[in-house]
Amino acid sequence: FFLSLKLGNKTKGKHQKQICRIVLDHFEKQYTTELGDTWTHIRDVLTHPLCWQYAVLLNKFSQSTELENTLRVKGYHPAFQERLPYLPSSFQCYISRTPGRFPAQKHQAGKLKEYFLLNAASLLPVLALEVKDGEDVLDLCAAPGGKSVGILQCASPGKFHCNESDLLRSRRLKQTIESFIPDAFINLLMFSTLDGRQIGDLKPELYDKVLVDAPCSSDRSWLFSSDTQQATLRLIQRKELPSLQFQLLR
């Protein structure tokens, strides 16, 4: 979630990331046309990372009462308090009403992480999927792994196929999953680097549930790119995304 709370006061005197002017100028032209006056408010939050909000998804495989107490003391509360059609008791996610970011955990060999930091809205597709124990699940574009971790907090799939076509992102995905899931569950997972557009033909009607988090423009990340050439190239490549998204979803 994003929170916009008196941005000037919240960020005054704190180190700010450098904005890539080429990317911001492109956004100004595109989103002013598409969003009108709303773009001004979105831009205010988008350009102030200290006002971005991250949720804390607890890892049921490494539960910590101390962690939950710490979150409550810091003003965090359950992200999904309304009654939802599907909300397993093992799925616990916390957010705060004030801007800030809970400290990330470093990877430690042989020790599972206690929580995952991510945008709480990205967990809504996980809950909408309503995965049940024993169902075979495919996460088609799984990196960086937040939704895969979220699914495993909800249920124990019979088979869980995590696919990511990009080799580097696929390696990071596997490392992420291994940081949150016990070895006994890792053996039930399958990792692949297939072209997601071909999986339907290669494995027809093999899965009970399929999650497709199609590649997006990653506007928030590229806005703070330190590589102007890469940022310019990305602006060109993002024009091809709608076609790729359509092919993955069809």
Q: Which residue's structure tokens are 């180190």? A: 15
Q: Is 154 annotated as a binding residue?
A: no
Q: Which helix (H) or strand (E) holds 69?
A: helix 65-73
Token reading at 131:
């995965």
pLDDT, average across residues 144-169: 95
How confident is the model at residue 16, as a pLDDT? 59
Q: How far apart are CA 53 and CA 116, in angstroms?
A: 13
Order of all β-strands in the sheet with 76-78: 76-78, 93-96, 55-58, 115-118
Q: How many CA atoms lie within 13 A of 73 on its CB side?
A: 6
What are the Cα distances from residue 130, in Å, to 55, 116, 119, 248?
20, 20, 19, 21
Q: Is 121 annotated as a binding residue?
A: no
Residues in the chain: 250
Q: Is 213 annotated as a binding residue?
A: yes
Top pLDDT among 48 and 55 is at: 55
Q: Is 146 annotated as a binding residue?
A: yes
- Name every residue whose Cβ is closer than 8 Å to that of residue 155 and which is 6 or more positions away in sequence: 88, 131, 132, 133, 135
Q: How far apart are CA 241 and CA 24, in angstroms?
A: 19
- What percent of the chain is modeled with pLDDT above 70? 94
Query: Which band of pLDDT confidence, cut at 50, 70 and 90, is reported for residue 7?
Result: very low
Task: Tell me the whole-structure pTM to 2 decimals.
Answer: 0.83
Which of these CATH numbers, 1.20.120.920, 3.40.50.10320, 3.40.50.150, 3.40.50.720, describes 48-222? 3.40.50.150
Domain ranges for the chain: 48-222
Query: Which band of pLDDT confidence, cut at 50, 70 and 90, is reported for residue 211?
Result: very high
Q: What is the dihedral of CA 249, 174, 90, 53, to 10 degrees?
A: -70
Q: Is 104 exposed, middle or buried (0-12, 13-18, 19+ CB in 10 A)?
A: exposed
Q: Which of 227, 229, 225, 232 is nearest to 18 (CA)?
A: 225
- Please say if the pLDDT value at position 97 is more than 90: no
Q: Which residue's structure tokens are 């709608």? A: 242
For 125-149, write each residue's pLDDT tens digit: 999 999 999 999 999 999 999 999 9
Q: Is 145 annotated as a binding residue?
A: yes
Q: How far apart are CA 79 and CA 129, in angstroms?
A: 18
Least confident of 5-19, 90-104, 176-190: 5-19
For 59-94, write each residue's pLDDT tens digit: 999 988 999 999 999 999 999 877 788 999 999 999
